[in-house]
Amino acid sequence: MNIKEAYEVMQAEWVRVNDVQKGDTVRILRDYNTYELGCDAGGDDNTEKQSRVVSTKNRHIGVAGFGFVPFFVLEIVDQPRDKSKMIDIKGKKWSEDTIAEALKAHAK
């Protein structure tokens, strides 16, 4: 496994463990260098700025207004969803709304 692949594995685990989803608010804790820890994202120093997560599907976390930011410089500030309405199915958490939509689509 090369360093970029290792980075992708570490980010996926960070997203899973912290239950990071689109709409969560994160703070950028520090500046980072291009290719640091296998992350090829680079950017301006946006230390202490906050914004919403727009994507966790790519090799980096998409943060509104800042492009892609490596997971290791982010702090989760707010996760607005109602955790009480999350249902665990085989270790993966699903919202009641997502399950309802899937059932409606399956019924068609």
The answer to whether the CB of 38 falls within 8 A of the CB of 3 is: yes
Residues 6+ apart with CB under 8 A from 52: 22, 23, 24, 25, 26, 63, 64
Q: For 24-72, what is each residue's pLDDT tens digit?
A: 999 999 988 888 888 887 777 888 999 999 998 767 799 999 988 999 9
**pTM summary value:** 0.69
Query: What domains can you pick out in the chain, each with its CATH number?
Result: 3-79 (2.30.30.30)
Torsion sign (Cα): 90, 92, 97, 98: negative
Pairing of strands 25-28, 50-55: antiparallel
Mean of the per-residue pLDDT values of the chain: 87
Backbone conformation region of residue 94, classed left if phi is above 0, alpha if psi is from -120 to 50, else beta: beta
* Residue among 107, 24, 104, 2 nearest 71 (CA): 24
